[in-house]
Amino acid sequence: DVKVTQSSRYLVKRTGEKVFLECVQDMDHENMFWYRQDPGLGLRLIYFSYDVKMKEKGDIPEGYSVSREKKERFSLILESASTNQTSMYLCASSLAPGLTEAFFGQGTRLTVV
Amino acid sequence: RKEVEQDPGPFNVPEGATVAFNCTYSNSASQSFFWYRQDCRKEPKLLMSVYSSGNEDGRFTAQLNRASQYISLLIRDSKLSDSATYLCVVNTMDTGRRALTFGSGTRLQVQP
């Protein structure tokens, strides 16, 4: 059974903290993505990566960075958490975006206080 | 203008009803289209791809109208278990971006 695993379901962090969200997939997919999901706004792409050490900005990269040191792992970093980054974060992976299914992790509900 | 637009609903329908959702997309260069389903507090999962000729999977029918730039999903004989949010998803390669663009979803509530 294919799997995308996010390290935490729920996180509470303080404003200004550096936050790491980890995502691991076991499908040997080259393409991995980070989205955030907010009511009324849907899923918005933060960053994606199509190969190890490669990254591309999505629609809302400000305040975020990513790391892809290994094929199976894609990390999202909030350099200095702010309250407007309170959201549901979803990691996904895909063999061929737009051609094959994207598989999602269970999501991380991040609250910044 | 959003790249992918959907009516947020909710659509409240009785069991057994037929319900249809539409979705419009703004980029005429979009190439691939999908419907994903998201249950409450769960991750999105692929429901079906949408092909130019239209396609059917059991009670679900998806259609694409490239001229008008919209996609539709028809659900026949609705079940309680169909209650979920349905996400319209589009892939556009012309910008070199290899990622999917999601609509904000249409919520369906099937009632007994």
Distance in angstroms (rounded) separating the CA atoms of residues A86 and B87: 22
Taking residues B30-54, what's their average pLDDT? 92
pLDDT(A100) > 90: no
At residue B96, the pLDDT reads 60
- Beta-carbon separation of A90 and B43 below 8 A: yes
- Beta-carbon separation of B43 and A35 below 8 A: no
Percentage of chain B with pLDDT > 70? 94
CB atoms within 10 A of CB A23: 26
Chain A environment of B97 (Cβ under 8 Å): 48, 56, 58
- B97 and chain A in contact, CB less than 8 A: yes
Distance in angstroms (rounded) separating the CA atoms of residues B20 and B38: 17
Q: CA angle, B88 as apex, B85 and B92 as ends, to 5°? A: 155
At residue B97, the pLDDT reads 63
pLDDT(B52) > 70: yes
At residue A87, the pLDDT reads 97
At residue B94, the pLDDT reads 58
- A65 and chain B in contact, CB less than 8 A: no
Contact indicator for A93, A87 with CB cutoff of 8 Å: no
Which tokens belong to A44? 């918005």
Range from A60-64, B57-61, B76-80, B88-92 carrying the lowest mean pLDDT: B88-92
pLDDT(A51) > 80: yes
By Cβ distance, the residue of B8, B93, B98 closest to A31 is B98
> Which candidate, A31, A8, A5, A4, places its Cα nearest to that of A19?
A8
- A23 and chain B in contact, CB less than 8 A: no
At residue B88, the pLDDT reads 95
pLDDT(A9) > 60: yes
**CA torsion sign, A81 to B100 to B47 to A5?**
negative
Residue B68: pLDDT band with limits 50, 70, 90? very high
